[in-house]
Amino acid sequence: MSKKTLFDKIWDTHVVKQIKDGPSVLYIDRHFIHEVTSPQAFKGLEKRGLPVFRPQQVVATADHNVPTLNQELPIKEELSRIQVQTLKDNCAKFGIELYGLGHPFQGIVHVIGPELGVTQPGCTYVCGDSHTSTHGAFGSIAFGIGTSEVEMVLATQCLLQSKPKLMRISVDGDLGKGVTSKDIVLYILAQISASGATGYAVEFAGSAIRALTMEARMTICNMSIEMGARCGMIAPDQTTFDYVKGRKFAPQGADWDKKLAEWQQLYSDQDSVFDKEYHFKAEDIEPMITYGTNPGMGIGVTGHVPELSEISQRDQPAFEKSIQYMGLKAGEHIMGHPVDYVFIGSCTNSRIEDLRQVAAFVKGKQKAEGVTCWVVPGSKQVEAQAKEEGIDKILEAAGFQLRQPGCSACLGMNEDKIPAGKYCISTSNRNFEGRQGPNARTMLASPLMAAAAAVTGKVCDVRELV
């Protein structure tokens, strides 16, 4: 029998039809939708008089435009209000269950799928959202699609897709104290660049990846899109099965046993071939921070912004523009740089483990004066859990503000924006110009590094504080 990769195994069981010399018709198990990329798709269906083919396989939530304070009140911003209302109307019209504002399951689409047990190994997931790659942490094929494709999936539960090339990135060894999965992914990005995996489906493997919890694995797959990857994935194992078991939409009883037996076959066969492979050592990874305006522009916290001479001539103009935007100089050390805002949230790092880690770190400490600290849970369930565990009290005592769930300052589609010129250490996944607000300056880091910056008021090495 020929050797198959994890990707091949899932892909092959979902191809409905292979078009000669063209793409495949791929079956989609679950389709996530949110308010930003679904309105045009529904409009398209209406225009053609088509129903949603399998409404029970669509999961809807409102996340990008929702306020994170006073969610029970009508949304003030007109555009946001219209977006959220349109999603509500479309879901009602087309028979789709909506976890909208006020619903106990509402939250960032990539946080709620896993926590509800909708996300499972061996399945295909799409959403009109690039960070759909998050769900690949369960050993599934999950990727973002455009609005016209959202329409296609709503109408047919299928999608035309060409099979991507395959890459494996292995990280072996043990992570040091204060180094987390966010640092792993920022490190990989710094090594291979923000375009290093363009066009590939990436499987993350190796002992350092296998040692991670599910939530930590999600952080890595979440950012695989930032390397240009079509999707990211990790083979399911006992950690995965334990996480899924017992969740609301997880299989139960005999169904569970049957599924588990299938899931246990989901790994890349020994000697299966990848188009490209990378190997990294966990011991080489420091707590990371970005200095530029793409997620590949990251350095270890003890490092410095590259010198111009370290940058290829071709990339120098973009590099200079980028550090100018950030108000940094070539060769400058990043440690000690003042910070104005700390944002702990987004589909990269807003799950309960992230909040627990932050709370454990800040307990008994105080945020530095002049720093604004927002903690935005990824979902209502994370928020409820945080309150149950007293995390809210710990954060409030330290001067942090625990807000309500949503994408928030990750992209500032609601009121949560970082003012122009200000520095924000953010646990999100993108540091593009203007991402967190016009002329805001974003430095990406782990929740621990963000919390450390909050209490010291500057970029610091969290390893000295844990």
Ligand X SMILES: CC(C)[C@H](C(=O)O)[C@@H](O)C(=O)O
Binding site for ligand X (CB under 6 A): 36-37, 64, 129-131, 144, 411
From 14, 30, 64, 351, residue interacting with ligand SF4 (rule: CB under 6 A)? 64
For residues 344 to 363, the per-residue mask of contacts with ligand SF4, x marking binding by CB under 6 A and - elsewhere, is --xx----------------
Token pair recorded at residue 3: 């050797």
Name which of ligand SF4, ligand X, none residue 36 binds, using a CB cut-off of 5 to 8 Å depending on partner kind: ligand X
Cα-based distances in Å from 95 to 55, 127, 128, 285: 6, 18, 19, 48
**Beta carbon of residue 384, minimum distance to ligand X (angstroms, whole number):** 24
The alpha-helical segments, DSSP class H, found in 181-237 are 181-192, 207-210, 214-222
Are 7 and 233 contacting, i.e. CB atoms less than 8 angstroms apart?
A: yes
Are 289 and 449 contacting, i.e. CB atoms less than 8 angstroms apart?
A: yes
Sorted by sequence, the CB contacts under 8 Å of residue 97 that are 6+ apart come out as 55, 56, 58, 59, 60, 91
- Nearer to ligand X (CB atom), residue 33 or residue 326: 33
Q: Which amino acid is at 6?
A: L
Distance CA 160, CA 402 (A): 42
Q: Per 3-state DSSP, what percentage of the chain is helix, strand, and coil (rounded to 5)?
A: 35, 20, 45
- Please name the helix (run of DSSP H) or strand (run of DSSP E) that holds residue 241, with its range, or none: helix 238-244
Are 232 and 135 contacting, i.e. CB atoms less than 8 angstroms apart?
A: no
Name which of ligand X, ligand SF4, none residue 168 binds, using a CB cut-off of 5 to 8 Å depending on partner kind: none
Distance CA 373, CA 362 (A): 12
Q: Which amino acid is at 386?
A: A
- Nearer to ligand SF4 (CB atom), residue 128 or residue 300: 128
Distance CA 198, CA 231 (A): 10
**Beta carbon of residue 33, minimum distance to ligand SF4 (angstroms, whole number):** 12
Number of residues forming the site for ligand SF4 (CB under 6 A): 13
Question: Is 429 one of the binding residues for ligand SF4 (CB under 6 A)?
Answer: yes
**Beta carbon of residue 299, minimum distance to ligand SF4 (angstroms, whole number):** 22
Dihedral of CA atoms 447, 452, 456, 457 in degrees, nearest 10, equals -20
Strands 24-27 and 158-161, sheet pairing: antiparallel
Candidate ranges 93-101, 147-155, 229-237, 405-413; the one touching ligand SF4 (CB under 6 A): 405-413
Q: Please give the residues from 103 up to 162 whose contact with ligand SF4 meets the rule CB under 6 A.
A: 108, 110, 129, 131
Candidate ranges 149-157, 163-171, 406-414, 458-466; the one touching ligand SF4 (CB under 6 A): 406-414
The alpha-helical segments, DSSP class H, found in 277-423 are 316-326, 352-362, 380-388, 391-397
**Beta carbon of residue 272, minimum distance to ligand X (angstroms, whole number):** 30
Is 347 assigned a ligand-binding role in the annotation?
Answer: yes
Is 410 assigned a ligand-binding role in the annotation?
Answer: yes
Name which of ligand X, ligand SF4, none residue 108 binds, using a CB cut-off of 5 to 8 Å depending on partner kind: ligand SF4
Is 127 assigned a ligand-binding role in the annotation?
Answer: no
**Beta carbon of residue 428, minimum distance to ligand SF4 (angstroms, whole number):** 6
- Nearer to ligand SF4 (CB atom), residue 24 or residue 37: 37
Strands 423-426 and 341-344, sheet pairing: parallel
- Nearer to ligand X (CB atom), residue 430 or residue 441: 430
- Nearer to ligand SF4 (CB atom), residue 178 or residue 447: 447
- Nearer to ligand X (CB atom), residue 37 or residue 294: 37
- Nearer to ligand SF4 (CB atom), residue 395 or residue 411: 411
Candidate ranges 53-61, 137-145, 331-339, 404-412; the one touching ligand SF4 (CB under 6 A): 404-412
- The annotation places the binding site at 347, 407, 410
Binding residues vs ligand SF4 (CB under 6 A): 63-64, 108, 110, 129, 131, 346-347, 407, 410-411, 428-429
- The annotation places the binding site for [4Fe-4S] cluster at 347, 407, 410
